[in-house]
Structure 1
Amino acid sequence: LDARLSRTSVEVEVQSVTVLTVWGPTAAVCDARARALAALLGGADYRAVRPAGLQDALFTLGLPSTVRPGVVREFTQHQISEDWALSGAFTTAEVGDPNGMFLGIDLDSGTTRPVMINVADAPKVDASASMGIIGDLGAGKSVMQKLIAEAVWARGGCAICIDRTPVREWATFARTAAKGRVQIIDAAQAEVSIDPRRMFTGPEGRHYALSYLTLQLGIGPMSTSGEVLHHAVEQAAAGPEPSMHRVLEVLERMATSEAGKRQDAAATLAGLIRVVATNSL
């Protein structure tokens, strides 16, 4: 070791501890897996030590957010940086994204690493942007949600937030964090319509209206209900003031004027739309 350290003035000594954990439903399975792991490492000239009496302390080191127990210092390895860097093949970090906003610190397995998240880039890497934030009352769950939302529009993105809180906390936050760049739609006192038939004209409006209603009502586009819905959307679009309410009116007329399966489908669709319109699903 001294000879290798003296070969260059920039080489340094690294003191590290590596703990490998196996698991199993029984002690026998754990023992077999530990022996297999030791044999595997031995084939690559690595020696794994299984100290007697310290298994509990060493096992807890593999649990998330665990403070490193002092007994691990007994297994300190003295290496030069070149050899220590070769251990990178045994490490990986799967928490967060390669770039994005700084979300927090990862305390998994006794390490301290920054965690970044880039929700807006999820579609580019074919990943789901869904996430859940869990914590006690007052732990800061909504604060984290707002930080993530702010990071999205701070990088040029767009955040669409559905606020179900009685005090409209997201509306207050949006007015402050994105002043002059925010549009708030209050369903109780609506000043702006989000009706796709009002927002978009021509074929584009018909496409968005039909796509939304097909998914919301859970019907197949090539079924009888899908054909009736398509006809209702087309008829509503042909009127002077197309809207989703006009679609409901067309379906109600079809429920009284049509016959057979089309009449039943129109009546069912009209009823389902009323359910969606009158309930907070």
Structure 2
Amino acid sequence: MGVDGVHRRARRRSIGLKAAVSNVLARGHRPGKPNSRGRAVIVDRTKEEEWARFASACPGTTQVLRIDQSAEVSLDPLRLYVEDSPKVAARFCESFLTLLLGVKPMDLESVALSEAVQAVLERPDPTTHALMDELVLRGGEDTAARNLAHKLKAVARKDLAAAVFDDTLPVVDTAPATTASSSSSTLSPCRRRASSPPTTASSARSSRRSWAAH
């Protein structure tokens, strides 16, 4: 298949996906509830932010979430979920950091992480930054905690870490949005192409939990 054929195939796929998202939004509408719509979460890795622009054009309201050096909201899992349930906050935080830091579920580092998360959640205003401080403190006697603290500090120094480690940012709230969009890069543990930082477009109907769970 030549270059033109590849481009045509990509365009057809893009159009098909946009049609699918539009269908999700339409099917989520409930009679008598004018602001009700479906929810779609889309990861956009295009330089042109194709899906962010598409999300902005969707019916309903749009929220743009940028997970890069220009982040304006916090996606810190401890801050994001603690109001729902400390156990939920612990589960999401441990899942996120286990992948981000390359920790195996049953290693001593995983145990150290779980214990530190629990300790931070027992105090007011838990944050991932406070978790890093807790690991540093525990690292004086615990090698696994010390290793985790070194890893977490390395991540926190990156210019893309603000969305998780900057406690001054307001916590994201997608409750009022029917569409949200965000761009990110290497902070997330999932694979990315270096030449094309992703954007996430999300059409949301209600809760904070359902956005982040996608």
Common fold, TM-score beyond 0.5?
yes
2:173 aligned residue: none
Q: Does 1:164 align with 2:42?
A: no
1:251 aligned residue: 135
Provide closer, same or farther for how the CA distance between residues 218 and 233 of structure 1 changes in structure 2, counting only shifts above 3 A. same
Provide closer, same or farther for how the CA distance between residues 194 and 155 of structure 1 changes in structure 2, counting only shifts above 3 A. farther
For 2:92, the aligned partner's letter is Y
* Number of equivalent positions: 141
Taking the aligned partners of 1:208 and 1:214, their CA distance within structure 2 comes to 10
Provide closer, same or farther for how the CA distance between residues 184 and 217 of structure 1 changes in structure 2, counting only shifts above 3 A. same
For 1:187, the aligned partner's letter is I
Higher RCO, 1 vs 2 (CA within 8 Å, ≥6 residues apart):
2
Map Cα deviations across residues 185-204 of structure 1 (whole Å, 9 max, x no partner): 11233333222111111222
**Max Rg structure:** 1
Report SS of the residue matched to 2:39. coil
Taking the aligned partners of 2:65 and 2:145, their CA distance within structure 1 comes to 31
Report SS of the residue matched to 1:162. strand
1:72-111 equivalence runs, <5 A: none
Among 5, 8, 21, the alignment partner of 1:149 is 21
Structure 1 spans left out of the alignment, 5+ residues: 1-134
Map Cα deviations across residues 40-71 of structure 1 (whole Å, 9 max, x no partner): xxxxxxxxxxxxxxxxxxxxxxxxxxxxxxxx
Amino-acid identity (%): 33
TM-superposed CA distance for 1:251, in Å, is 1.7
2:7 aligned residue: 137
For 1:186, the aligned partner's letter is R
TM-score (norm 2): 0.55
RMSD between aligned residues: 2.5
**4+ residue segments displaced more than 6 Å:** none
Provide closer, same or farther for how the CA distance between residues 164 and 275 of structure 1 changes in structure 2, counting only shifts above 3 A. farther
Structure 2 spans left out of the alignment, 5+ residues: 29-37, 159-184, 192-214
1:1-281 equivalence runs, <5 A: 136-139=6-9, 140=11, 141-156=13-28, 157-180=38-61, 182-188=62-68, 189-201=70-82, 202-255=86-139, 257-258=140-141, 262-263=142-143, 265-274=144-153, 276=155, 278=158, 280=186, 281=191
TM-superposed CA distance for 1:268, in Å, is 2.5
Taking the aligned partners of 2:113 and 2:136, their CA distance within structure 1 comes to 11
TM-score (norm 1): 0.44
TM-superposed CA distance for 1:153, in Å, is 2.9
2:32 aligned residue: none
